[in-house]
Amino acid sequence: MRICVYAGSSVGARPEYRVAAAELGALLADEGIGLVYGGGNIGLMGVAADAALAKGGEVIGVITEQLHGHNLSHTGLTRLEIVPTMHDRKALMADLSDAFVALPGGIGTFEELFEAWTWAQLGVHAKPVALFNAGGFYDKLAGFLDHVVEEKFLKAVHRQTLVVESDPRALLKSLRENPVPYVPKWLDKVAGEQPPK
């Protein structure tokens, strides 16, 4: 099993974020779960990768030629894949992974998280997606997503597929025990469609 971790290229303002990234990296290694991520050596991404590597875990980085050219790649990974574009990068990260976790981060992290979650909603894959809510960082986003359900732009069943946990072990348990239910977004248009493998 491998988990794709999206995380800030900054460490953020509070020490809780660094602690959470290190805890997640170490836990994945302890559990024999590979970590797939953006391949950077900076921010919470670098903290999670270093923590997994320190425990002997498998860490696969997927980085673009442009970022690699700016010496932003981690040099001590199990494997580093260098790809032409951001789209290639996200596709490969998703292909290599069985689930997705977003640590605190900025708009790059959000973009990656929402793409993975949208693909689950559309049935492109059936891999679970989670927010690691370290220090309550994602409380406001979770509240906003509830508002989106109330305003009928998101089905409650799809909202519930997004795991939100502040403890890494509970997060891993939720990912393992709550497979994504296949509920096509376009119920009225896709009669009889089969779930993705």
Q: Which residues bind ligand AMP (CB under 6 A)?
A: 6-10, 38-40, 42, 45, 63, 67, 72, 105-109, 112
In the bound state with ligand AMP, the residue whose beta carbon lies nearer, of 106 and 179, is 106
Burial class (CB in 10 A: 0-12, 13-18, 19+), 12: buried
Closest distance between ligand AMP and the C-beta of residue 92, in Å?
11
CB of 4 to ligand AMP, least distance (A): 9
184 vs 126: CA distance, rounded Å: 11
Which residue has its beta carbon closest to ligand AMP? 108
CB of 7 or CB of 162, closer to ligand AMP: 7
Q: In a 10 Å sphere around its CB, with 0-12 CB exposed, 13-18 middle and 19+ buried, how is residue 90 labelled?
A: buried
Residue 164 and residue 161: Cα distance in Å, rounded?
9
H/E element, 163:
strand 162-165
Task: Compare residues 93 and 120 and give the one whose CB is closer to ligand AMP.
Answer: 93
Give the nearer residue to ligand AMP in terms of CB position, either 7 or 123. 7
Nearest distance from C-beta of residue 77 to ligand AMP, angstroms: 12
Closer to ligand AMP at the Cβ: 74 or 123? Answer: 74
Closest separation in Å from C-beta 154 to ligand AMP = 22
Residue 152 region by backbone torsions, left for phi larger than 0, else alpha for psi between -120 and 50, else beta? left
Q: How far is CA 112 from the centre of its chain?
A: 7
**Distance from C-alpha of 128 to C-alpha of 76, rounded to nearest angstrom:** 28
Nearest distance, CB of residue 40 and ligand AMP, angstroms: 3
